Amino acid sequence: MAVLDPVDRHRWTDTALSAAERADALLAALSLEEKIAQLGSVWEGLAVEATGDVAPMQEIFAAGSRPFDEAVRHGIGHLTRVFGTRPVTARQGRERVAGLQRRVTAGSRFGIPAIVHEECLTGFTTLGATVYPTSLAWAATFDPALVERMARAIAADMRSAGVHQGLSPVLDVVRDYRWGRVEETMGEDPYLVAALGTAYVRGLEDEGVVATLKHFAGYSASRAARNHAPVPMGPRELREIILPPFEAAVRAGRARSVMNSYAEIDGLPAGADPDLLTVVLRDEWGFEGVVVSDYWSVPFLQTMHRVAASPAEAGALALAAGIDVELPDTIGYGAGLVALVRAGRVPEELVDRAARRVLRQKAELGLLDPDWTPEGSVAAGAGIDLDPPGNREIARELAEASIVLLADDAGVLPLGAGARPRRIAVVGPCADDPQAFMGCYSYPNHVLGDFPEYSMGVAADSLWTALHAELPGDRFTLERGCPIRDEDRSGFPAAVAAAAAADVCIAVVGDRAGLFGRGTSGEGCDVPDLSLPGVQGELLGTLLDTGTPVIVVVVSGRPYALGGYERAAAMIQAFMPGEEGGAALAGVLSGRVNPAGRLPVQIPRLPGGAPGTYLQPPLGANSQGVSNVDPTPMFGFGHGRSYTSYAYDDLTLSAAELPTDGTLTVSVRVRNTGARDGAEVVQLYLHDVQAEVTRPLRQLAGFARVPLAAGAAARVVFTLHADRTAFVGRDLRRVVDPGELEVHVGRSVTDLPCRATVRLTGERRVAGPDRVLHTPVVVEPW
């Protein structure tokens, strides 16, 4: 074993030097094997501890996993899922992190610590940590500041446990609601995804945890919405719809990591695409961080995409494309890649390029500091509360703000008013199941299904339990009616009898999240159409036939078609609102909470006829005389009702013309005309009347969540730069084009009472990489 020059050690541990200088000093001292080791990862216990599949084809790849000490003998880049493999307490997890880091640093020549990563989509994915609402629920809040607060809390919990990197957020833009991972997204509009995703990234990064943007790119647009299926998308649509959230999170959020997509676009897997991972990401956007592979996507280049003949050749393709670290275990970036480099088939400069990035990030994280120790990398103290009152308060605020009142045509809501006691039948498979409120990457659904002795690991009420506390003067009857997805109708008679004997029936239907077919929503849980799972739709029909007013509550990870249930007295949508979801839903039903959630995805009317999103050109909308299928949704993007009412007027533009490099202010007055305090989501949409390519009929360009007391008013002022009108033209450049532009402001894409036009003037202009990505908004009291 070579002896390290103490001068070199001084340089790479010298905190007075820049992270890049320290990385270069260390890189110069490493052997080829040691450099490639920094590009790998190890999942300790994968072959013996992990139960169930938390990643695709996990069992197959686990069989070839190397013993830990062998895997780290030259060092290692990442430690995989120390907390998320099997249940460990916070204290056990910290001890395990410290112990593994000791083995990493003691087992190799230079003693370089590893980066520890973990999932954090609905909170730190570990036993006993707060389970926040799903990303789709964050999107329904239209509240970036609240999402950033949540991310800060998640980062603080992870950092206290010695975790350096979180594998979130998901920035995939929904293209087909049948895809199982819709619940993990922030909806179907790229601007909304960009705004909320960037807020999440800032929350993690400002607290010192590396945020990982995924899945780059195109994953959500797979053919027929099947997980990992090919993506039938051209380069213009990719740049127009899919890439903007990633660009915003890189440029405005300062994200330090990106994870590639499993997808192939036009026959080219993302993990082997240098145009995507290097040219777009680094050369165009200036990304300087580390690209990590999605789990086993490197060997997938051989086994699934079949563009490589061996794991080592798969590794060579991925390395050349721009993947710096292979997760979750080392297969393509192992001894076979070393041999390819030594044989001259892979340039060592590619290894150096990736290793330099990894080492620089380790320097930024303090892992190369002279006083770093395994024990010091985790918080001191006897215990850590990963679900403290402050976290639960954020979870409650998110849950309450995310719930969407779709309809209340019969005026049956809120239930808090009126004479008591009332007879309330609570029916449905999601009525008494708090895990229905949790996403597929929540710890209770992600891991604890194989460990029933731990229950859920956190306190969470079902809606049934929460309603008793919320409406103590009423009498309740509970009937399940049917399972979530099994075709078992044996519970129908009891459910119908309960509803018929009640003054009102609350029907709670929807999903149970899981992975790879073990649920009705989640990764690998795709569906052929948008009917409610199992026989839940039939159950709703029988309940509506009783004549009792039925309040339909859908708790789901995707929007389901609700056409045919218009007889419902009221409809509510909750997108898996987390551990505080029961109380939040009960609060909306009672009226304690005035609903202000808005749809980040549309609610279809038909289960199979229209899985498209609102971003449609004219021929994508209802085309009478062209097609007999009407794709008009039941509830459009941005829709959501309230227990108060709002009025819009006095739309004012600062000018009638907008130079193609200029700025325009768009302001509108919004009034709360009802008797209750509330919050309105004011939405700005644009329509380019004529362009060189077809344009959406409406596209979100700005929004603001505006709290308004009863009787109060506010002026909402948007500052619209001409860059925000840019589109990707025929030559694949983003351009600002002169011409007429419609400006719409209102409460949803289908309810826009204020309209004006402005003319873009001047020369056609290319909006480059420094273009304005955001529409600032100011709310002024009236």
Instruction: Provide the β-strand partners of residue 405.
Output: 572, 641
What secondary structure, in 3-state letters, does 219-276 show?
HHHCHHHCCCCCECCCHHHHHHHHCHHHHHHHHCCCCCEEEECCCEECCEEHHHCHHH
**Nearest in space to 442 (alpha carbons), one of 159, 745, 124:** 124
- Other C-beta atoms closer than 10 Å to the C-beta of 333 total 31
> Taking the CA of residue 684 as centre, how many other CA atoms within 13 Å lie in the half-sphere pointing to its CB?
30
Judge contact between 741 and 628, C-beta under 8 A: no
Question: Collapsing DSSP states into helix, strand and coil, what is residue 713?
Answer: strand
* Amino acid at residue number 29: A
The span from the CA of 469 to the CA of 464, in Å, is: 9
Distances (CA, A) of 397 to 252, 394, 613, 678: 25, 5, 28, 14
Question: Collapsing DSSP states into helix, strand and coil, what is residue 153?
Answer: helix
Chain-centroid distance of CA 181 in Å reads: 9
Question: Collapsing DSSP states into helix, strand and coil, what is residue 405?
Answer: strand
* Amino acid at residue number 299: P
**What is the chain's Cα-based Rg?**
27
Distances (CA, A) of 389 to 130, 394, 635: 10, 9, 35
Judge contact between 620 and 543, C-beta under 8 A: no
Cis peptide before 633 (omega within 30 of 0): no
Annotated catalytic, 228?
yes
* Amino acid at residue number 54: V
The span from the CA of 332 to the CA of 575, in Å, is: 38
Could you list the beta-strand ranges (E) of 537-594.
Answer: 550-555, 570-574
**DSSP-derived secondary structure for 523-545:** TT---SS-SPSTTHHHHHHHHHT
Chain-centroid distance of CA 107 in Å reads: 37
The span from the CA of 408 to the CA of 424, in Å, is: 17
For residue 551, give both structure tokens: 């309040």
Question: Which helix (DSSP H) or strand (DSSP E) does residue 650 occupy?
Answer: strand 646-653
For residue 152, give both structure tokens: 């800060």
Set 164, 228, 305, 639: catalytic member: 228
Set 157, 176, 189, 294: catalytic member: 294
Cis peptide before 744 (omega within 30 of 0): no
Distances (CA, A) of 521 to 119, 223, 488, 495, 762: 18, 18, 19, 25, 49
The span from the CA of 754 to the CA of 744, in Å, is: 6
The span from the CA of 586 to the CA of 689, in Å, is: 44
Judge contact between 684 and 173, C-beta under 8 A: no
Judge contact between 338 and 33, C-beta under 8 A: yes
The owner of tokens 């500091």 is 369
The span from the CA of 436 to the CA of 239, in Å, is: 35
Judge contact between 716 and 682, C-beta under 8 A: yes
Cis peptide before 738 (omega within 30 of 0): no
- Other C-beta atoms closer than 10 Å to the C-beta of 394 total 22
**Nearest in space to 384 (alpha carbons), one of 172, 80, 160, 98:** 160
The span from the CA of 20 to the CA of 360, in Å, is: 5
Annotated catalytic, 324?
no
**Nearest in space to 210 (alpha carbons), one of 351, 356, 362:** 362
Instruction: Provide the β-strand partners of residue 599.
Output: none
Which positions are annotated as active-site residues?
228, 294
